[in-house]
Structure 1
């Protein structure tokens, strides 16, 4: 099984699992961040060992879907993908998009 497909299968399981737990949105963010953190760690290990790597596009998608905090922690802890361009630029864009959605959601649901 390709590593990329395995990552997306885990993401789908996180989405399905969070749907059946109390506070699904909170659980989604907890699961996707934990999963993103683990994938960054696994990709760093794969880079060191010369194994098959997780595509950068997959790492960016995980961050875009809410796992950006787990990605930031993984990048700093594992010293992974912190200098590589254009990945770094695209990652910052996904973080900004997440923050915009978060601010709009907070305004719509809590301040209106």
Structure 2
């Protein structure tokens, strides 16, 4: 199984696992952020050892689905993807897009019913 598919498999596993908790949205955000930090660390290790890397689109996708706080933590913790200008611009766009979607959902649905369903 290649690394990219494995990352998406872990993301799907986190989504499925969060559905079986009392607060699925909170658990999803916790799991996706922890997983994002791990993926950034794994990609940094792969970069240092000249192994197969995680594609940038996958790193951006983890941020887009709610893992951007974990991505910021992973970038700072591992000093990874902090200087590459095209990636930084796309990352900022993905963060803005994620926040916009969350704000739209918040406006459409009451906060209490959204996070406690």
Equivalent position of 1:55 in the other structure: 55
Structure 1 residue 106, shift from structure 2 partner? 2.8
Equivalent position of 2:103 in the other structure: 103
Equivalent position of 2:24 in the other structure: 24
TM-score, L = length of structure 1: 0.93
**5+ unaligned residues in a row in structure 2: which ranges?**
112-117
Structure 1 residue 100, shift from structure 2 partner? 1.4
4+ residue runs of structure 1 moved beyond 6 angstroms? none
Structure 1 residue 62, shift from structure 2 partner? 0.6
Looking at structure 1, the residues matched to 9 and 103 of structure 2 have their Cα atoms a distance apart, in angstroms, of: 29
Looking at structure 2, the residues matched to 99 and 57 of structure 1 have their Cα atoms a distance apart, in angstroms, of: 18
Looking at structure 2, the residues matched to 24 and 51 of structure 1 have their Cα atoms a distance apart, in angstroms, of: 35
TM-score, L = length of structure 2: 0.89
Structure 1 residue 85, shift from structure 2 partner? 2.3
Structure 1 residue 103, shift from structure 2 partner? 2.3
Equivalent position of 1:72 in the other structure: 72
Equivalent position of 1:34 in the other structure: 34
**5+ unaligned residues in a row in structure 1: which ranges?**
none
Structure 1 residue 83, shift from structure 2 partner? 1.1
**How many residues end up aligned between the 2 structures?**
110
